[in-house]
Structure 1
């Protein structure tokens, strides 16, 4: 499926500073697109521009094949659900009553309520006052509200922020079920790289307002250079032996490692060490984490 969200040179400046700088998003239909970056990188501003909440300084936005303008904005956004920052609610009303108000605002029939409550697994809590909800339940109610009207696109800004591990797991499972079960394309922004690693099919990485990577998650991992760590009876002697034999070994943080390479070359390295009287105790393959990749792309630690 082709892209359902396309931006060209999308930019937002406040005074002279570009908080979003010439970004070209390509978000495939049916994907979970992880929009990654540290706090303050421009993620929320980008999502607000997609929703028409912030006016771009320059650039174009296309959603579902149509360029957004003042005439068609509402029609296009009627097929888009969103959960930006903390969900708004009336604490003295029940979850169902809050959703009834949103149905009125969206001009959506109230029979939709039970459908979205089932998706977010909140049928049993619908009559409880929202002021009595946990943070995780409030986030799920916000997601239910975003799903009213059966949108084709869902924009989520840090939906697991502040949740405990159980709440994060629950929200992750809900989000992962949406494309396959309901045909919804999800754009999810986060600074929690490990979370995106477990949810996304595609990734865009933004840093200081600039898009520095965009492709599938598999391509991102293929670009990361994994390593093979060796634990031997004498690691330093093994390191010297491998280097002297022209095998690209590295000594890093007190550990001996090799770049991932063909099996035949790994077998040669192991045989070389064994024949030199050095015992192989353990071989451990380790891919770079998404955090490591981000550090490699940006040259700085992620600000969590």
Structure 2
């Protein structure tokens, strides 16, 4: 698998305040990389550096195997689409006119305008002035503009921010189709854990400018062992049995809670409970949510 984005020791400081610190980012081809972190974590600043809109204080950026610098920036951006912060548009022009103007600036065939309007489901509103678009429609117009030119890399900064639940679902569904339909690699930032959990194949967790975790989404979930919840006919006695067998428990919401056990250990526990006349009424495994994992990594909730 090819690496599309690689940064090494990337740093950015404003007025002696470090916003991004020693960032080593790796984004593989065909992935949807969820760039996760609270507001102010440095996500937008990182994306601006990847696009050459902000100059790094230190470190290096490689995109498509090329070093991001003044010499290579134009050729890199020619194959990159982006939607950073709020979408730009001319309110007095229709959605279609905005895209035709952008197509001309990007030097891509005007025929692509109809294609991207179809992808973002704006065909029916293409003749409506952009100023009269809803916020969700403006976001989709911005995404359509980013898709012009069939870029291999797409950078989306908080694309669901400010959308209603239906708009979030629609934007998420659109993004999820891009790698398979068009072979795109997507770097999408968000402070919404649920969005990244449902959309990304890989994830990087950024907090206060530092990368705390980077791997596949499945590896992130696997790194946090799930809890086991057991409710018995005599939880106090069951707790003593667990302790005798070397398993620490706590008591929450009328259930004993302990770290997940192997099948063999759970079998032995069941035999001991049965032998001492303690019946198992309910048993469940609680897989940690992305919220739980973030709290474990940072010591605070994501808001």
TM (norm. structure 1) is 0.96
Structure 2 unaligned residues grouped into runs of 5+: none
My pick for the range that moved more, 116-125 or 271-280, is: 271-280
C-alpha separation between the residues in 2 aligned to 1:237 and 1:142?
Answer: 61
Which residue in the other structure is 2:44 paired with? 44
User: 1:107 — aligned with what?
Assistant: 107
What do residues 48-87 of structure 1 show as CA deviations (whole Å, max 9, x unaligned)?
0001111111111111010011122111111000001111
Offset of 1:245 from its aligned partner?
A: 3.0
List alignment gaps of at least 5 residues for structure 1.
Answer: none
Question: CA offsets per residue over residues 107-131 of structure 1, 9 Å max, x none?
Answer: 1221110111111122111111222
Asked if 2 retains the 8 angstrom alpha-carbon contact of 1:83 and 1:146, the reply is: yes
2:245 equivalent in structure 1: 245
Which residue of structure 2 aligns with residue 95 of structure 1? 95
Asked if the contact 2:202/2:214 (under 8 Å) is kept, the reply is yes
Instruction: Confirm whether residue 20 of structure 1 aligns to residue 7 of structure 2.
Output: no
Determine the structure 2 residue equivalent to 1:284: 284
Partner residue in 1 for 2:157 = 157
Tell me which moved more, 192-201 or 121-130.
121-130
For residues 78 and 168 of structure 2, what CA distance do their matches in structure 1 show? 28
Note if 1:226 corresponds to 2:244: no
> Shift in Å at residue 164 of structure 1?
1.2
Structure 1 partner of 2:65: 65
The residue that corresponds to 2:76 in the other structure is 76
Correspondence for 2:117:
117
Matches within 5 A, 1:178-257: 178-252=178-252, 255-257=255-257
**Offset from partner CA, 1:231-255 (integer Å, 9 cap, x none):** 2233333222211332343334664
Aligned counterparts of 2:144 and 2:232: Cα–Cα separation in 1: 54
Query: How far, CA to CA, are the matches of 1:160 and 1:83 in structure 2?
Result: 11
Which residue is equivalent to 1:296? 296
